[in-house]
Amino acid sequence: MIKNIYNLGDAALYCDFGDTVNKETNLKVINYFNDIREKNITGIKNIAPSYNKLIIYFDLELTNYKKIKDTVENLDISTFKSIKTKKVKMPVCFDDEFALDLERVEKKVGLGKKEIVNQLISQKYFCYMTGFIAGMPFLGDIKEKIRLDRLETPRVKVPKGSVGITEQFCNIYTFESPGGWNIIGNSPKKVFTKDPTKLTLIDPGDEVEFFEISKKEYSKFNEQK
Protein backbone atom coordinates (compact mmCIF):
# COMPACT_ATOMS: atom_id res chain seq x y z
CA MET A 1 0.00 0.00 0.00
CA ILE A 2 2.93 2.34 0.72
CA LYS A 3 4.97 2.92 -2.44
CA ASN A 4 8.17 4.09 -0.74
CA ILE A 5 9.52 5.02 2.68
CA TYR A 6 12.24 7.64 3.03
CA ASN A 7 14.30 9.25 5.75
CA LEU A 8 13.17 12.83 6.35
CA GLY A 9 15.91 14.61 8.27
CA ASP A 10 17.31 12.99 11.40
CA ALA A 11 14.10 12.14 13.19
CA ALA A 12 11.25 11.67 10.72
CA LEU A 13 9.96 9.07 8.30
CA TYR A 14 8.27 9.95 5.00
CA CYS A 15 5.71 7.42 3.72
CA ASP A 16 4.80 7.93 0.06
CA PHE A 17 1.55 6.40 -1.20
CA GLY A 18 2.09 7.61 -4.78
CA ASP A 19 1.28 10.73 -6.80
CA THR A 20 -2.44 10.08 -7.19
CA VAL A 21 -4.79 12.29 -5.19
CA ASN A 22 -8.14 10.58 -4.75
CA LYS A 23 -10.39 9.17 -2.04
CA GLU A 24 -9.08 5.61 -2.34
CA THR A 25 -5.44 6.62 -1.83
CA ASN A 26 -6.32 8.99 0.99
CA LEU A 27 -8.26 6.29 2.84
CA LYS A 28 -5.06 4.21 2.87
CA VAL A 29 -3.20 7.13 4.43
CA ILE A 30 -5.93 7.59 7.05
CA ASN A 31 -5.92 3.87 7.84
CA TYR A 32 -2.18 3.86 8.45
CA PHE A 33 -2.48 7.04 10.50
CA ASN A 34 -5.20 5.58 12.71
CA ASP A 35 -3.50 2.22 13.12
CA ILE A 36 -0.10 3.67 14.06
CA ARG A 37 -1.72 6.10 16.50
CA GLU A 38 -3.75 3.35 18.18
CA LYS A 39 -0.70 1.09 18.59
CA ASN A 40 1.11 3.78 20.62
CA ILE A 41 4.47 2.73 19.18
CA THR A 42 7.46 3.58 21.38
CA GLY A 43 9.35 6.67 20.26
CA ILE A 44 6.77 8.11 17.85
CA LYS A 45 6.09 11.76 18.75
CA ASN A 46 3.72 12.88 16.03
CA ILE A 47 2.04 11.67 12.83
CA ALA A 48 1.04 14.05 10.04
CA PRO A 49 -1.21 12.75 7.22
CA SER A 50 -1.80 14.54 3.91
CA TYR A 51 -3.56 13.68 0.63
CA ASN A 52 -1.18 10.86 -0.27
CA LYS A 53 1.71 11.10 2.19
CA LEU A 54 2.30 10.33 5.85
CA ILE A 55 5.11 11.81 7.95
CA ILE A 56 6.06 10.09 11.21
CA TYR A 57 8.19 12.04 13.69
CA PHE A 58 10.16 10.08 16.28
CA ASP A 59 12.39 10.60 19.32
CA LEU A 60 15.99 9.58 18.62
CA GLU A 61 16.56 8.88 22.31
CA LEU A 62 13.91 6.17 22.22
CA THR A 63 14.09 4.71 18.71
CA ASN A 64 15.58 5.15 15.26
CA TYR A 65 14.69 5.24 11.56
CA LYS A 66 15.22 1.50 10.95
CA LYS A 67 13.02 0.43 13.87
CA ILE A 68 10.16 2.69 12.82
CA LYS A 69 10.53 1.73 9.15
CA ASP A 70 10.44 -1.99 10.00
CA THR A 71 7.38 -1.48 12.19
CA VAL A 72 5.47 0.39 9.49
CA GLU A 73 6.41 -2.10 6.78
CA ASN A 74 5.23 -5.01 8.92
CA LEU A 75 1.87 -3.59 9.91
CA ASP A 76 -0.85 -6.18 9.36
CA ILE A 77 -3.19 -4.23 7.10
CA SER A 78 -5.81 -6.95 7.39
CA THR A 79 -6.47 -5.71 10.92
CA PHE A 80 -7.35 -2.19 9.79
CA LYS A 81 -10.70 -1.11 11.09
CA SER A 82 -13.43 0.68 9.19
CA ILE A 83 -12.97 4.41 9.47
CA LYS A 84 -15.57 6.10 11.64
CA THR A 85 -16.88 9.06 9.71
CA LYS A 86 -19.69 11.52 10.06
CA LYS A 87 -21.76 13.74 7.80
CA VAL A 88 -21.47 17.49 8.32
CA LYS A 89 -23.70 20.17 6.78
CA MET A 90 -22.15 23.63 6.46
CA PRO A 91 -24.17 26.83 5.87
CA VAL A 92 -22.51 29.30 3.49
CA CYS A 93 -23.43 32.87 2.62
CA PHE A 94 -22.39 33.95 -0.88
CA ASP A 95 -23.25 37.63 -0.41
CA ASP A 96 -20.89 40.06 -2.16
CA GLU A 97 -19.44 41.05 1.22
CA PHE A 98 -18.09 37.52 1.65
CA ALA A 99 -17.49 36.47 -1.97
CA LEU A 100 -14.15 38.25 -2.29
CA ASP A 101 -13.06 36.48 -5.48
CA LEU A 102 -16.34 35.51 -7.07
CA GLU A 103 -15.98 38.02 -9.88
CA ARG A 104 -12.53 36.61 -10.67
CA VAL A 105 -13.89 33.06 -10.58
CA GLU A 106 -16.73 34.02 -12.96
CA LYS A 107 -14.23 35.33 -15.49
CA LYS A 108 -11.86 32.38 -15.14
CA VAL A 109 -14.43 29.58 -15.44
CA GLY A 110 -16.95 31.36 -17.67
CA LEU A 111 -19.96 30.86 -15.40
CA GLY A 112 -22.28 33.23 -13.56
CA LYS A 113 -22.56 33.48 -9.77
CA LYS A 114 -25.70 31.35 -9.52
CA GLU A 115 -24.18 28.50 -11.54
CA ILE A 116 -20.93 28.61 -9.54
CA VAL A 117 -22.88 28.40 -6.28
CA ASN A 118 -25.00 25.54 -7.65
CA GLN A 119 -21.88 23.67 -8.73
CA LEU A 120 -20.49 23.96 -5.20
CA ILE A 121 -23.58 23.02 -3.19
CA SER A 122 -24.91 20.26 -5.47
CA GLN A 123 -22.56 17.55 -4.24
CA LYS A 124 -20.95 16.04 -1.16
CA TYR A 125 -17.26 16.38 -0.32
CA PHE A 126 -14.70 14.04 1.20
CA CYS A 127 -12.32 15.49 3.80
CA TYR A 128 -8.85 14.46 2.69
CA MET A 129 -6.94 16.13 5.52
CA THR A 130 -6.87 19.03 7.94
CA GLY A 131 -3.98 21.43 8.32
CA PHE A 132 -2.18 24.59 7.19
CA ILE A 133 -3.99 26.32 10.06
CA ALA A 134 -5.59 24.45 12.95
CA GLY A 135 -8.58 22.37 11.88
CA MET A 136 -8.77 23.69 8.31
CA PRO A 137 -10.42 20.94 6.21
CA PHE A 138 -9.28 20.19 2.67
CA LEU A 139 -12.38 18.95 0.85
CA GLY A 140 -12.59 17.24 -2.52
CA ASP A 141 -13.45 16.87 -5.18
CA ILE A 142 -15.13 19.95 -6.62
CA LYS A 143 -16.70 19.73 -10.06
CA GLU A 144 -14.51 20.23 -13.11
CA LYS A 145 -16.43 23.35 -14.20
CA ILE A 146 -15.28 25.42 -11.21
CA ARG A 147 -11.68 24.28 -10.90
CA LEU A 148 -9.06 27.01 -11.20
CA ASP A 149 -5.62 28.01 -9.96
CA ARG A 150 -4.74 29.92 -6.81
CA LEU A 151 -4.59 33.70 -6.71
CA GLU A 152 -1.55 35.15 -8.43
CA THR A 153 -0.90 37.22 -5.29
CA PRO A 154 -2.03 35.66 -1.98
CA ARG A 155 -3.92 37.78 0.55
CA VAL A 156 -2.24 38.86 3.75
CA LYS A 157 -5.52 38.30 5.61
CA VAL A 158 -8.35 35.93 4.71
CA PRO A 159 -11.36 36.30 7.06
CA LYS A 160 -12.26 33.49 9.42
CA GLY A 161 -15.01 31.27 8.00
CA SER A 162 -14.10 32.01 4.37
CA VAL A 163 -14.89 29.24 1.89
CA GLY A 164 -12.25 29.00 -0.81
CA ILE A 165 -11.71 26.89 -3.93
CA THR A 166 -8.51 25.94 -5.76
CA GLU A 167 -7.84 23.13 -8.24
CA GLN A 168 -9.91 20.11 -7.15
CA PHE A 169 -10.41 21.26 -3.56
CA CYS A 170 -12.39 23.63 -1.40
CA ASN A 171 -11.66 24.58 2.19
CA ILE A 172 -12.91 26.61 5.15
CA TYR A 173 -10.59 29.02 6.94
CA THR A 174 -10.84 28.28 10.66
CA PHE A 175 -8.98 31.47 11.62
CA GLU A 176 -8.03 34.73 9.95
CA SER A 177 -4.92 33.84 7.99
CA PRO A 178 -2.83 34.61 4.92
CA GLY A 179 -3.97 32.57 1.93
CA GLY A 180 -4.18 32.30 -1.83
CA TRP A 181 -7.42 30.39 -2.38
CA ASN A 182 -10.34 31.89 -4.34
CA ILE A 183 -12.83 33.04 -1.70
CA ILE A 184 -16.46 32.69 -2.81
CA GLY A 185 -18.40 32.75 0.47
CA ASN A 186 -18.30 32.51 4.25
CA SER A 187 -19.71 30.09 6.81
CA PRO A 188 -20.83 31.26 10.27
CA LYS A 189 -20.48 27.74 11.68
CA LYS A 190 -17.37 27.09 13.80
CA VAL A 191 -15.10 24.39 12.38
CA PHE A 192 -12.48 24.63 15.15
CA THR A 193 -13.28 25.14 18.83
CA LYS A 194 -11.37 25.38 22.11
CA ASP A 195 -13.16 22.38 23.56
CA PRO A 196 -10.33 19.86 24.30
CA THR A 197 -12.75 16.94 23.96
CA LYS A 198 -13.67 17.89 20.39
CA LEU A 199 -11.45 20.49 18.75
CA THR A 200 -12.58 19.96 15.16
CA LEU A 201 -16.01 19.74 13.58
CA ILE A 202 -14.64 18.11 10.41
CA ASP A 203 -12.09 15.28 10.48
CA PRO A 204 -10.28 13.36 7.71
CA GLY A 205 -12.69 10.89 6.11
CA ASP A 206 -15.82 12.89 6.95
CA GLU A 207 -18.45 13.82 4.36
CA VAL A 208 -19.30 17.52 4.02
CA GLU A 209 -22.22 19.16 2.28
CA PHE A 210 -22.74 22.92 1.80
CA PHE A 211 -26.06 24.73 1.70
CA GLU A 212 -26.76 28.36 0.88
CA ILE A 213 -28.02 30.88 3.42
CA SER A 214 -28.89 34.58 3.11
CA LYS A 215 -26.99 37.40 4.77
CA LYS A 216 -29.90 37.79 7.21
CA GLU A 217 -29.68 34.10 8.14
CA TYR A 218 -25.92 34.47 8.48
CA SER A 219 -26.38 37.32 10.98
CA LYS A 220 -28.99 35.36 12.97
CA PHE A 221 -26.65 32.36 13.13
CA ASN A 222 -23.98 34.53 14.72
CA GLU A 223 -26.48 36.03 17.16
CA GLN A 224 -27.43 32.55 18.38
CA LYS A 225 -23.85 31.59 19.29
- Per-residue confidence (pLDDT) for residue 70, from 0 to 100: 93
pLDDT per position as a tens digit, 42-71: 999 998 888 899 999 999 999 999 999 999
Q: How far is C-alpha 208 from the geometric centre of its chain's CA atoms?
A: 11
Give the contacts of 151 (CB within 8 A, at least 6 positions apart).
101, 104, 180, 181, 182
* pLDDT more than 70, % of the chain: 95
**Which segment of 57-66, 76-85, 87-96 scores lowest on mean pLDDT?**
76-85
Q: pTM for this one?
A: 0.82
User: Parallel, antiparallel, or unpaired: how do β-strands 207-213 and 87-93 relate?
Assistant: parallel
- Per-residue confidence (pLDDT) for residue 167, from 0 to 100: 95
